[in-house]
Amino acid sequence: MGTVFSFDVRGGDFEHAVAEAVDWLHHVDETFSTYRPESVVSRLDRGELTLADCPPEVAEVLRLCDEVSRASHGYFTSHPDGRLDPSAVVKGWAIERASRILTRAGAVNHCVNGGGDVQLTGSAAPGSPWRVGIAHPLRPGELAAVVTGHDLAVATSGTAERGAHILDPHTHRPATALASITLVGKSLTLTDAYATAAFAMGHAARDWVGELEGFEAFAVTASGATWHTGDFPELAILAD
Amino acid sequence: MRRAIFAVVVTAVGLVLLLSFKPHDLAVAEPPSANAGPWTGDGASLGDDTGTVVDGDVTDTRWGPVQVRIVLSAGKLTGVQVLQAPAGTSMDVAINDRALPILDREALTAQSARIDTVSGATYTSDGYVRSLQSALDRAGL
């Protein structure tokens, strides 16, 4: 499945840094894509490779999957259909790493958006925070909220864009309570993975995210109502 | 079989869209003019349709046909528009709104809410990506 990534770098010309980040994303695709039969992860899943044969980032990603699975009481899983598929962790992790590549190269004010999951650093303009719109899942073209901040990660999980079902791993039935849920945190790796788990949890995500240190959530339910965790309004402008 | 898709194009506002099927060379558009100031916090705008357009294939998806159009200026990509999108999907908005699909300038409050990026529905569907790829191929980018 194709994913569109965008890099918005402010305050200077950092073409070289972006090129390096792009190379990184190509490497991630070759290693982790479950759509490529010859990718490292596909071969690992078929037993053609052991974990020790794989690049170290594979073990790192699988450890992250385990960590997120435990933290989410199994609502996140790296084997959603029985096959190894760490994609939900890989995307946020890859984007966050791409962001670090940019920062190390001196591009300290940037926004990296991969398929709607975003890692932001620094400022959009001198003294101005970034402004991240949250697409309304039920009303095309509208925003449900705008999140603002300097160094933050925003990840939205839902069915709006693909129509595909995210399954509740406990019931194996589609998670239907929410149209979308957006998590805001510092690091996209966990923010993205937690957003996926939160969507599968439905309304229970409100308490779950409420307990998590460093994350806030905003959800649009299947009927179009919204809820959010306690400190979310401090980060955001909400529609009335 | 199309696989994960990456290619790099730079829009007129300094936003780099990463999209590819085959490895593409970096296609760098002209950076925003000096008048815009050193930092371009304005978000994407394709208000002026200067340059040429190249239409991608109409791609069938399970929800209906998708077609995108790319806008070129002096041989460089400066924007993307959605020409056709299945009714009721979030891609519909871009047909009447000429903003780059990943940015949405829809006002949230009475004042217009200028935003830098959008989280959530962002046209990452396979149909959109395939049509966009075909337009890039057709344009020789």
**Model confidence pLDDT, tens digit, residues A83-135:** 888 988 999 999 999 999 999 999 999 999 888 899 999 999 999 999 898 88
From first CA to last CA, the distance across chain A in angstroms is 36
What's the whole-number mean pLDDT along residues A134-143? 74
Q: Tell me, rounded to whole angstroms, the distance of Cα A45 from its chain centroid.
A: 23
Of A54-63, A126-135, A205-214, B97-106, the poorest mean pLDDT is in B97-106
Task: Please give the pLDDT value at position B70.
Answer: 82
Name the least confident of A29-43, A46-60, A189-203, B58-72: B58-72
Least confident of A3-7, A15-19, A185-189: A3-7
Is B5 in contact with A2 (Cβ distance < 8 A)?
A: yes
H or E element, residue B52: strand B52-55
- Cα distance between residue B47 and residue B33, in whole Å: 16
- Predicted local confidence at residue A138, as pLDDT: 79
* Chain B hits for A136, Cβ within 8 Å: 120
Which of B16, B119, B122 comes nearest A182 by C-beta?
Answer: B119
Q: Return the pLDDT at B120.
A: 80
Supply the ipTM of this predicted assembly: 0.91
**Closest chain A CA to residue B115:** A131
Whether B97 sits inside 8 A of A18 (CB atoms) is no
Whether residue A164 is predicted with pLDDT greater than 80 in this model: the reply is no
How far does the CA of residue B102 sit from the closest CA of chain A (Å)? 8
pLDDT band (50, 70, 90) for residue A53: very high
B52 touches chain A (CB under 8 A): no
**Residue ranges, chain B, pLDDT below 70:** 1-50, 62-63, 76-79, 86-114, 121-127
Given an 8 Å threshold on Cβ–Cβ distance, is A2 in contact with B2? yes
SS (H, E, C) A124-151: CECCECEEEEEECCCCCCCEEEEEEECC
Whole-prediction pTM: 0.75
**Is the Cβ–Cβ distance between B83 and B132 less than 8 Å?**
no
Q: Is the pLDDT of residue A179 over 60?
A: yes
Stretch A144-155: mean pLDDT: 93
